[in-house]
Structure 1
Amino acid sequence: MDIVMSSKPASGHAPVLQVRGLHFGFAGQHLFTDWEADFPAGLSLVAGGDGAGKTSLLRLLAGDCAPQAGRMILLGVDATVQGNDYRAQVFWRDPRAPWPEDLTPQAWVDDVAARYARWSDEDWRSHVAGFSLAQHLHKPVYQLSSGSQRKLLLAAALASGAALTLLDEPVAALDKASITYLLQALEREARTLRLPQRAVIVAHYDELGGLPWRHKIQL
């Protein structure tokens, strides 16, 4: 596995997330062996083709599944020792996971907003407008198109303020206007660093038009 670092955290600034000695794989397939990385505040890219392990890595970083060995430390919180405290700082939802039939976007977002101390109602409203989601907020989520479900997930992720925000193939199923809005929103996030202890990690097969990545890893 080829790991390419585009940058390191600036001198005097500790990384938001540290990964040390990560081991993980499935029967007959080793994905990560003694894998290490530091993720600084800002945008980071995990690039690779299908089957490279991008989604598996995001699930590991989210605490959604456990590595066979290794440590993940998010703003001083060790996932192995303080699992609940670690996961409370992470925004992650697998975009392929099914939604409950009785759940509306508004009900889900109300729950998400209550879980994140740095949730921004202003950002949420801005992203709802940018992704043209307002008309869908009171429909059952499972009835929305895959593109609208993705837009809901992205709007909530960006508004969450979570210290570690994980986005898997974010442009999948999006229309052209929504892709344009997403790239603009990610660029604003990267340029302004309004939340200086926030790492946004994006998994995608390419560099998404050259966003201002602080850190890049090729799987």
Structure 2
Amino acid sequence: MPHSSSHSVSNLTFSWPDGDPVFDALSATFPSGTTGLIGSNGAGKSTLLRLLAGELTPQRGSISIPGALGHLRQDVTLDPTLPVDSALAIDSVREALHRIESGTSTEDDFAIVGSSWDAEERALALLDKLGLGAIVGSLDDLDRAVGTLSGGEAMLLALTAELLAEPDVLLLDEPTNNLDQVARERLYTAIDGYAGVLIVCTHDLELLERVESIAEVRAERNGVSRLRMFGGNYQHYRSVIDTEQDAARATVRDAKNDVRKQERELIETRTKVDRRVRYGKKMEERKRVPPILAGRRKRAAQESAGKLQGTQRDRVDDARSSLEAAEDLLRDDREIRVDLPATKVHPGQVVLTHEEATVVGPERIALIGPNGSGKTTLLRALDAAGAAVPWKYLPQRLDVFDEARTVAENVADVAPHATAEQIRGQLARFLFRGSDADAIVGTLSGGERLRAALARILLAEPAPKLLMLDEPTNNLDITSRQHLIDALETFQGALIIASHDRPFLDAIGPTRTIELDAPVEEFGGRPATPRESM
């Protein structure tokens, strides 16, 4: 079993081949237990995991691993023809065990088995613990081909393989993506029982509340990312950051006041110096001071005035430097601020009538259920049937754009009566300011893509009064997730949202919950009669 230790990096420096820096002299120690790795999309979380796993080589620095290392990548894909035991990496052990049992073994077989005499039983127990017992519930099932597992099932099977290997350090990259709530709970339990160094890169707030420490990757203004460790779970991390930001805002206010004060005193100093010069010149003219003496006095006055102004200018520069340093402590966690009165739906107004769902007024409906229960099928059916009001459907893949055109052009396509200035003004409220609005959609990060999709559907003409969203928080960092919540808070129409993200659903305040619990056929199937709760 994994033993208690730590995983550390020292003076780690890494840049991409094109010269873009990622880390510079980064040092950190990951303690035994579970560490949540967080940060904005593009900050370098997955790059750090790949460095820790040895998939990337740093230009400088060292990585200390206390023993065996396992790495579960974000997008797990399995060959459908692969036997289950091969996917679990226990096929060679099983073959050796079978030869030993049949009396045809060699000494090599005992070396292959080692201490893994119970490999099959452990595999079945762990598969059952992770909810895959219905798929692989017997020794014979270990010989079956993986087949067409769902994305969530493939993730759980791959996690089983990593846990069976009992690594001392385990790296997980977004393990709860594509998992329904039941599967997430099983994964949480499996992670809770892990005894080694576990580093999990995730935006899942429920999972982050269960970790023992937080490692935050944050990009600085110079493009280099730094890593900062926090003891405790995500709630503790937020309390530390919020306290620091309150202090930073107070420091910025004081620094701004000092800059204004020093600039005002500089003006007063210049006025005072000018007054002295005029006075001195007038006295010289009255007394008719000899030219040599007048020149000396003038030079002395100029030197004195120069020193006075120089000292005051230095104070202004110091105050501005202090302000800049204080502003560097502020996080640029901007919020979406839009006003969408045209999306308003009145109470009692019929929005959608369908055999599977009826929506009246500005309802907020949470569509929940396990993977395969038909949430996406239902949303697609509602989208195809249409609504009694303007509506928009946002699929999981956010494929609602012309990828080769800019953000502004994509919005202009759906708002033909808006001027370019109006479009850019609205895009600024979705945090696409200035040249950001001219970015090609195909180059956007996950969070930027979400904001662009929201802008495109919410600024459309006519304004949508019904939104249907399918797992909108998948692959979003925590900041982008908050941007989505901010935008939906301003939406005054009806919402139907399919999601496994319970904290997100709680944040948007559903007025009704529809739960689906029966699988549907891949093509042409219908979800089971939904259960509703208010």
TM-score by length of 1: 0.72
1:160 aligns to 2:158 (yes or no): no
How far off its partner does 1:99 sit? 3.3
Q: How does 1:6-17 map to 2 (within 5 A)?
A: 15-17=5-7
Per mean C-alpha deviation after superposition, the further-off stretch among 41-50 and 102-111 is 102-111
How far off its partner does 1:154 sit? 1.6
1:44 aligns to 2:42 (yes or no): no
How far off its partner does 1:98 sit? 4.0
Quickly say closer, same or farther: Cα 1:59–1:112, change in 2 above 3 A. Answer: farther
Residues in 1 aligned to 2:159 and 2:176: alpha-carbon distance in whole angstroms: 10
Counterpart of 1:143? 148
In terms of fraction of residues, the more strand-rich structure is 1
Q: Deviations over 1:80-111 (max 9, x none)?
A: xxxxxx7xx11114242543453223222134
Structure 1: any 5+ residue segments left out of the alignment? 1-13, 76-85
Which secondary structure state, in structure 1, belongs to the residue aligned with residue 40 of structure 2?
coil
Question: Which of 176, 182, 185 pairs up with 2:187?
Answer: 182
Residues in 1 aligned to 2:132 and 2:28: alpha-carbon distance in whole angstroms: 36
Residues in 1 aligned to 2:80 and 2:161: alpha-carbon distance in whole angstroms: 19
1:127 aligns to 2:122 (yes or no): no
Residues in 1 aligned to 2:22 and 2:91: alpha-carbon distance in whole angstroms: 31
Counterpart of 1:24? 14
How far off its partner does 1:123 sit? 5.0
Contact 1:22–1:34 (8 Å) recurs in 2: yes
1:57 aligns to 2:48 (yes or no): yes
Q: Deviations over 1:40-61 (max 9, x none)?
A: 2111121112212111111111
Counterpart of 2:85? 106
Question: Which of 195, 198, 217 pairs up with 1:200?
Answer: 198
Contact 1:105–1:138 (8 Å) recurs in 2: yes
Which secondary structure state, in structure 1, belongs to the residue aligned with residue 89 of structure 2?
helix
How far off its partner does 1:203 sit? 0.6
Partner AA of 2:188 in structure 1: L
Aligned length: 186
Which secondary structure state, in structure 2, belongs to the residue aligned with residue 180 of structure 1?
helix
Contact 2:173–2:200 (8 Å) recurs in 1: yes
Counterpart of 1:217? 215
Counterpart of 1:80? none
> Considering only aligned residues, what root-mean-square deviation do their CA atoms show, in Å?
2.9
Identity of aligned residues (%): 26
How far off its partner does 1:146 sit? 1.0
Residues in 1 aligned to 2:45 and 2:10: alpha-carbon distance in whole angstroms: 17
Contact 1:48–1:206 (8 Å) recurs in 2: no
Q: Deviations over 1:49-76 (max 9, x none)?
A: 221211111111111221121100112x
Residues in 2 aligned to 1:104 and 1:52: alpha-carbon distance in whole angstroms: 37
1:96 aligns to 2:75 (yes or no): yes
In terms of fraction of residues, the more helix-rich structure is 2
Residues in 1 aligned to 2:78 and 2:126: alpha-carbon distance in whole angstroms: 21
> Which structure is larger by alpha-carbon Rg, 1 or 2?
2
Contact 2:76–2:154 (8 Å) recurs in 1: no
Partner AA of 1:18 in structure 2: S
Quickly say closer, same or farther: Cα 1:40–1:74, change in 2 above 3 A. Answer: same
How far off its partner does 1:113 sit? 8.4
Q: Which has the higher contact order (CA 8 A, sep 6+)?
A: 1
